[in-house]
Amino acid sequence: MVVVFPPIVREAIIFSSLLTLLSTGLTLTYMTSRVPNFAHGSFATIGTYVSLVAFRLFSLSPYQFIPVAFVLAGVVSFILYKAILRPLARKGASTILLMIATIAYDMLLIAALNITADFLSRNYKVTSRYFSLKSADIRIENIPMVFYAAPLVTAIVIVALYLLLTRTKFGVAMRAAIENPSLAGVVGINVDLVYSVSWFLAGGLAGVAGLLMALWFIGNPDLGTILLISIFTASIVGGLMNIYGAFLGGFLVGFAEVLGTANLARAVGVWIVPYRPVIPLLILVITLLTIPGGISSIKFERFIGRVRKGGF
Partner 1 sequence: MITVDKLNAGYGRLHILFDVDIEVREKSITVVVGPNGSGKSTLLRSIFGLTKIYSGSIKYNGEEITGLAPHQVARRGVAYLPQTDNVFANLTVRENLMMACYTLDKKTSEERMERVLDFFPMLRGFMNRKSGTLSGGERQMVAMAMALLREPKVMMFDEPTGNLSPKLAMEVLGKIRELRDKLGITILLVEQNAKKALELGDHCYLLVSGRVAFEGHPKSLLSHAELSKLYLGV
Least separation in angstroms between residue 165's CB and partner 1 is 11
Least separation in angstroms between residue 81's CB and partner 1 is 16
Is the CB of 169 or the CB of 309 nearer to partner 1? Answer: 169
| Buried b / exposed e along 117-139 (16+ C-beta atoms within 10 A) | beebeeeeebebeebebeebbee
Is the CB of 189 or the CB of 248 nearer to partner 1? Answer: 189
Is the CB of 184 or the CB of 206 nearer to partner 1? Answer: 184
Is the CB of 186 or the CB of 289 nearer to partner 1? Answer: 186
CA-closest candidate to residue 229, choices 36, 32, 99: 36
Is the Cβ–Cβ distance between 215 and 146 less than 8 Å?
Answer: yes
Is the CB of 6 or the CB of 188 nearer to partner 1? Answer: 188
Is the CB of 90 or the CB of 308 nearer to partner 1? Answer: 90
Is the CB of 34 or the CB of 175 nearer to partner 1? Answer: 175
Least separation in angstroms between residue 5's CB and partner 1 is 39
Query: Exposed, middle or buried by CB within 10 Å (0-12, 13-18, 19+), for 218?
Result: middle
Is the CB of 115 or the CB of 193 nearer to partner 1? Answer: 193
Least separation in angstroms between residue 218's CB and partner 1 is 42
Least separation in angstroms between residue 82's CB and partner 1 is 14
Least separation in angstroms between residue 191's CB and partner 1 is 7
Least separation in angstroms between residue 193's CB and partner 1 is 9
Q: Which residues bind partner 1 (CB under 8 A)?
A: 92, 169, 172-173, 175-176, 179-180, 182-192
Least separation in angstroms between residue 175's CB and partner 1 is 6
